[in-house]
Chains A and B, each alone.
Chain A
């Protein structure tokens, strides 16, 4: 399967996950929100969100079992840059109430203008960052 076809098929699976979590449990599948909630929520909600995150982490391992190969990962930054990037992603996704899944997939699927504004902003700042990185480094 070429990369565009597997991208589309993988995307459809992500969309199916987002749809299932809403239809079955009534929840938005926003990864940054779910992960942040693990440290705050109590009771059943915490267990349910833990189950989702456990399934998410198991995903690449199950993929490796099925296909015989782990998904390709080519890192583009060293550890110091990854620390800075991680801090920005953690703080930014909480301040902006979502990331590529919550705003990008779930928000756009709900036709939310707020999510569209967030998506255009993080795509824009991401593209600007890479352009600067290419120009300077």
Chain B
């Protein structure tokens, strides 16, 4: 019973995430890149697009309320325990990985959530990006196994 509820909860959360991305405009690579294009505003070539800041602000606020509530609960509704990251170090893999991710994000206007969600649109560029992303993830898996 709990297993079925857990599957259903994951499906509902995933669907809510995908609907939120769709409504927010963040599936649109031009809009995302427009947010990252801060120099465009300075030289007046094109207006800076602040939408991403509204999306992030709305998301962090609501998630923050949920997490504050979670801290008061002994355990999640359908699982034995909260599964939280324990690594608190700000180290070179964290910064180097985030820097590499930012380059790819800036080049394409795509990050993992919107890219995976947009697979349902059937757009070829999305499929190509996601395929390359999976290869990148597998490459890291090998790299990490050797290191």
Contact = CB atoms under 8 A, between A and B. Distances in A.
Interface in A1-57: 3-4, 6-29, 31-32, 35-36, 39-40, 44, 47-49, 51-57
B22 A71 contact: yes
Interface in B113-137: 113, 115-121, 123-126, 128-137
Interface residues of B, number: 118
18 contacts: A11-B55, A19-B65, A19-B66, A20-B9, A23-B73, A24-B79, A48-B10, A51-B8, A53-B14, A55-B10, A90-B140, A94-B144, A109-B59, A110-B67, A112-B85, A122-B99, A123-B102, A130-B36
Interface in B8-44: 8-31, 33, 36-40
Interface of A: 3-4, 6-29, 31-32, 35-36, 39-40, 44, 47-49, 51-63, 70-77, 79, 81-97, 99-101, 103-106, 108-110, 112-114, 117-119, 121-131, 133-135
Interface of B: 3, 5-31, 33, 36-40, 45, 50-52, 54-67, 69-70, 73, 75-85, 87-90, 93-113, 115-121, 123-126, 128-141, 143-144
A96 B67 CA distance: 22
B107 A77 contact: yes
A20 B58 contact: no
Contacts of A71: 21-23, 25, 27-28, 118, 121
B54 A15 contact: no
Contacts of A85: 103-105, 107-108, 110, 129, 132
A68 to B, nearest CB: 13
Contacts of A104: 56, 59-60
Nearest to B107: A85
The CB with the most chain A CB atoms within 10 A, among B15, B29, B81, B143, is that of B15
B117 A60 contact: yes
B109 A55 contact: no
